Amino acid sequence: MPRREGSGHDWSWAAWLAALGLVLYPVRETVAFWGRWLNPTFSFGWLGPVGYPIKWIGGTAMFFALLLALVVFVRGAQWAAAK
């Protein structure tokens, strides 16, 4: 099925946002897990102002990637139904 003009661009954005989210989101979780595993009294301390925004940015990127993928899917379904 040929893609509509805008869908390729939307898929590209969705792919980049998903990749960004898949890299950034687990970074904070990994640091927290290993920090607590190695030291039960671990605290982010000075890493907190860096770690939490990384998690928020990663989660937001994954949300928008899923939203764009849904938009492209709905457009394709509407296009197929109209055809």
Query: What's the rounded mean pLDDT across residues 1-10?
Result: 60
- pTM, to two decimals: 0.66
Q: What is the pLDDT of residue 1?
A: 45
Burial class (CB in 10 A: 0-12, 13-18, 19+), 70: exposed
8 within a domain of the structure (yes/no): no
Span 19-65, pLDDT tens digits: 888 888 788 888 888 888 888 888 878 878 888 888 888 888 888 88
Q: Are 22 and 62 in contact (CB under 8 A)?
A: yes
**81 Cβ contact partners less than 8 Å away, ≥ 6 residues apart:** none
Domain carrying residue 37: 25-82
Is 3 contained in some domain?
no
The total number of structural domains in the chain stands at: 1
Report yes or no on 34 lying in a domain.
yes
61 is a domain residue: yes
